[in-house]
Amino acid sequence: MPHDFMPGLAGVPAARSTISDVNGETGVLEYRGIRIEELTAKSTFLETAYLLLFNCLPTRLELEKFTGDVALHRRIKFKIVDMIKSLPEQGHPMDALQAAVAALGMFYPGRTVQDPENNYWSAVRLIAKLPTIVAAFARIRRGDEYVAPRDDFEFSENFLYMLSERRPDPIVCQIFDACLILHAEHTMNASTFCGLITASTLADPYTVVASAIGALKGPLHGGANEEVLAMLREIGTIQGVRSYLEAKLKAKQPLMGFGHRVYKVKDPRAVILQQLAQKLFTHCGKSPLYALAEETERVALELLSQKRVYPNVDFYSGIVYDAMGIPTDTFTSIFAMARAAGWLAHWLEQMKENKLYRPDQIYEGEHNRSYLPLDQRQ
Ligand code: ACO
């Protein structure tokens, strides 16, 4: 059956889904029909994860059970900690996370993905354990001891505690939690699709999430948040913004944290992240990077708005995490911790009506070539 080839599968539907929806023209993002503006103002990351996974807001009792289940599964086996200790300190945290998540599956070998009970516990374990792995690698690589999770702390509070070994400021926890909500899901993006391809073979959910982590790492996707900070540091001063951006565009290099396949307006997540950044700076003092970012956005819009290229989710998230004292190369792992909720929601949805992904290609090579023996080749 011949089809038009769509580079990057742009505009090609890969699934039917009820999990989230983006309107790229109006800048609206909804999770299960609820706008992200409302969720970041009123919900928590774990409640939003429940909404994504099970298609309803939990009752008080359901939320207590889910929160309790996640809290009880935060610990990781000492062998996973030992494995993390054996990884090179200068290695990228996303590689450590991918390796540790793949290894997790070896400890929980329930291979059938058709059992709803088993699938529930796999989703709980993954959402619970990813932050522990991220914090463990961040500490161990700088020579500090691994800090065990506290099951009496809220989700974000516990993560920030495991990173610093100090009980974090409640306002910082609330802002961080809202960031996790914003990163939890985003329709059929590259990492979700990658996870679903793996899931379509009926691979276990640890392998599904490990695949998705690999796809998220790249600088055109989740890795852009780290690149944004590198770009702002390279720009250095407000006066240097215009010449830097013009040189980049002249060299046909993308501005990191700008542009999106779907959004043709400013990403609504970037709008909320900017508000969260302002709230954080009012509370903890301004970051010099924020003024630089605002000027970068202003000049970039002048240079790029004709192409409808605007800031995306990655543009302001790094500035928020940086102001919280989180190392730059850990930003994408935090994205993964949050996006695990979306990946797992898509996985559960696909398991209800799975079909192996096996797309087609347009073959442009030769046919009927003869095999030339090695001694006759030029
Ligand atoms: N900087 C400069 N120009 C850009 C940018 C950018 N960041 N993004 C798009 N454009 C321009 C392109 O050069 C192209 O111009 P042309 O028509 O004159 O050739 C036009 O806008 C269309 O861009 P495409 O590359 O065709 O758009 P596509 O949908 O393939 O790319 C992508 C989307 C990869 C995200 C791109 O915008 C990009 O590279 N951005 C920078 C990396 C980034 O921030 N990634 C994070 C995305 S959000 C996320 O994944 C979580």
Q: Which is the catalytic residue, given 177, 314, 322, 329?
A: 314
Q: Report, as an integer, the average pLDDT of 9-14.
A: 94
Length of the chain: 378
Q: At what angle do helices 116-140 and 78-85 cross, to 10 degrees?
A: 40
Reported as a single tens digit per residue, the pLDDT across 136-181 is 999 999 999 999 999 999 999 999 999 999 999 999 999 999 999 9
DSSP for 316-374? HHHHHHHHTT--GGGHHHHHHHHHHHHHHHHHHHHHHT-----------S-SSPPPPPG
73 is annotated as an active-site residue: no
Task: Measure Cα distances from 359 to 277, 326, 362 in Å.
Answer: 42, 40, 10
- 314 as an active site residue: the answer is yes
In 3D, which of 125, 94, 95, 96 has the Cα closest to residue 109? 125
The answer to whether domain 224-323 has CATH 2.40.50.100 is no
Summarize pLDDT for 226-277 with one digit per residue, the tens: 999 999 999 999 999 999 999 999 999 999 999 999 999 999 999 999 999 9
Q: Give the start-to-end residue ranges of the domains of the chain.
A: 37-220+333-352, 224-323
**Band of pLDDT at residue 2, cut at 50, 70 and 90:** low
Per-residue model confidence as pLDDT tens digits over 267-299: 999 999 999 999 999 998 888 899 999 999 999
Mutate to test the pocket of ligand 1, among 189, 194, 260, 265 (most ligand atoms within 8 A of CB): 260
Ligand 1: residue whose CA is nearest its atom 44: 257
In the prediction, which pLDDT does 69 show? 98
- For range 96-112, the mean pLDDT: 91
May I ask the CATH class of domain 37-220+333-352? mainly alpha
pLDDT for residue 305: 82
- The pLDDT of residue 6: 94
Mean pLDDT for all residues in the chain: 96
26 φ, ψ (degrees, to nearest 5): -105, -10
For the CA of 308, the nearest atom of ligand 1: 21
Is it the case that residue 111 has pLDDT exceeding 80? no
Where are the alpha helices (H) located in the chain, listed in sequence order? 36-42, 45-54, 60-72, 78-85, 93-107, 116-140, 155-164, 170-183, 190-199, 205-216, 224-235, 241-250, 268-284, 288-304, 313-323, 331-352
**Per-residue confidence (pLDDT) for residue 171, from 0 to 100:** 97
Query: Cα separations (Å) of 114 from 126, 140, 205, 222?
Result: 17, 37, 11, 30
Do the domains 224-323 and 37-220+333-352 match in fold?
no
pLDDT recorded at residue 286 = 86
For residue 1, what pLDDT is reported? Answer: 52
- The whole-model pTM stands at 0.96
Q: Is the pLDDT of residue 114 over 90?
A: no
| Ligand 1 centre distance from Cα of residue 266 (Å) | 13
Which of 92, 186, 260, 346 is flagged as catalytic? 260
Q: Which atom of ligand 1 is nearest to the CA of 315?
A: 44
Averaged pLDDT, 41-55: 98
Q: Which of 216, 220, 249 to mutate to test the pocket of ligand 1 (most atoms within 8 A of CB)?
A: 220
309, 314, 332, 339: residue to mutate for ligand 1 pocket, most atoms within 8 A of CB? 309
Q: Is 365 exposed, middle or buried, given 0-12, 13-18 or 19+ CB atoms closer than 10 A?
A: exposed
Residues in contact with 169: Cβ distance below 8 Å, sequence separation at least 6, in sequence order: 283, 284
CA atoms within 13 A on the CB side of 195: 30
What spatial distance separates the first Cα and last Cα of the chain, rounded to whole Å?
A: 39
Residues 100 and 134: beta-carbon distance below 8 Å: no
Does residue 21 sit in helix, strand or coil? strand
